Amino acid sequence: MCGIFGVTNNSDASRLCYLGLFALQHRGQESAGIVSLNEGALQVEKGRGLVSEVFSEKNFSALQGKQAIGHVRYSTAGGALDANIQPLYARVAGETIALAHNGNIVNADSLRQTLEQSGAIFQGTADTEILLHLLARSRKNQFVDRLVDALIPLEGAVTLVVLTKTEMHAYVDPCGYRPLVIGKLRGEGEEFSWIFASETSALDLVGADFVRDVNPGELVSVDLVSQRLRSTALPMQSHQSNTGEESRCVFEHIYFARPDSTLWGQNASLVRQELGQELARCHPAPADLVIAIPDSGTPLAMGYSQASGIPFATGLIRNHYVGRTFIEPTQTVRNFRVRLKLNPVKEIVRGKRLVVVDDSIVRGTTSRKIIELLREAGAAQVHMRIGSPPVKFPCFYGIDTPKRKELIAQKMSLVEMCDALHADSLGFLPQEALVRVVEKHGFNGTRNQGKKGFCMSCFDGTYQDSGAQILGNPEGVPT
Ligand code: SF4
């Protein structure tokens, strides 16, 4: 998963980009980068680490200009090589361009193979580099037409911002897996800047007004001189979706997006509360307290408490200052990895029958350790309630999930999972209830009539495109 940001027509473009990336830091902590456009030339600063680690005051003297794009990365394709740190930039048909990508191109392996066989040389291993080669191979004269040519063969999740000498482009694939919003930042008099961001929380931080989502299959282009914005609709290609349905990632709502972000017309925190309410109705529990596994479980637990009437309490505390590396103790300290992040409040949980609410269970190892910690702290009972259906299949659209055989829900029945986690009871939100909540408020006008709105592939294994079907099939044959 990654976060992308773009800003036009602002003398503080790179600093605004930096702020935007701060707001999107939860979408990727592995690397960060900004490319600005100054007098027709691209300036690049990027590196490994958090936004606060990569950028300091001295970087901004090398990031002049009124247009900039930025990226925070968590690699799910291609690994953590320096050459994969985005934004990527290249000279394509005489024009220097930079691009930042969120998502995974699921037919990247076959496209890369074809390109390499015809002489293409890749610098890194990220799927995004394929797009640069496809751009270079288009025979069209106008850049925007080259971009359309390059986008059409891609399958999977492709959300982009692209910066050229004359335009900034923003694109969301026809399935609409990842969010991208357009904002407007007012300046002096008639002046204004366009902002593109993965989430509205980034618009809020820079003080921009939300204008609208970039629609699935839409390429939005801004002329950097006039600031005129135009929209091009790309057709859904048959290979991009077998069903022709839109497929927004439902996990953006359940867990990934910041709770203060509005996704496709709905606030993520309110959706999570409603999912928690549904969870309480579907899976009641005899309990004294509802507690959350923070942070993403908190709105779900609040919703569970509201619908069940069981009081909500802060029974687990998250340490927000755990770095990405730490020294392991030489002696065995039980559960230290989980304890490093989460610690029970003994005085709250002791002797209590708890409903413990989390967003999902993947391998089950962390959930089991949390239950163990709560029992050690004196909890009388632990009833696990999960705000999503069981995750039985891997994601190939930019979310880091393990292989199918490592997913606990793939290997075990509900009863077996409950036993393995040492829980007193276990309940998952049914898929119908999830659909009911996320589709309730519509899609802020972005949904094509009569089409399904959300991806549920990690629950039901029905991948939209042949590339993901091949990846998801152990025999390597489309299902
Ligand atoms: S498979 Fe799951 S995590 Fe991946 S895009 Fe679909 S809903 Fe999101």
List residues with catalytic annotation.
2
What is the per-residue pLDDT for 400?
78
CA of 397 to the centre of ligand 1 (A): 6
- Exposure b/e, 272-297, CB count within 10 A at least 16 = b: bbbbbbbbbeebbbebbbbbbbbebb
What is the per-residue pLDDT for 126?
84
Query: How far apart are alpha carbons 314 and 326 in whole angstroms?
Result: 26
Return the ligand 1 atom nearest residue 394 CA: 1
What is the per-residue pLDDT for 451?
52
Q: Of the residues 395, 459, 469, which should be mutated to test ligand 1's pocket, given the most ligand atoms within 8 Å of the CB?
A: 395
Query: Which residues does the chain have with pLDDT short of 50?
Result: 445-450, 475-479
Contact 147, 78 (CB under 8 A): no
Residue 458 CB less than 6 A away from ligand 1: yes
With residue 439 as reference, give the H or E element that holds it.
Answer: helix 431-440
pTM of the model: 0.92
Return the ligand 1 atom nearest residue 456 CA: 7
What is the per-residue pLDDT for 232?
93
Query: How far apart are alpha carbons 165 and 42 in whole angstroms?
Result: 8
Residue 399 CB less than 6 A away from ligand 1: yes
CA distances from residue 273 to 92, 172, 189, 259 in whole angstroms, order as listed: 47, 28, 41, 10
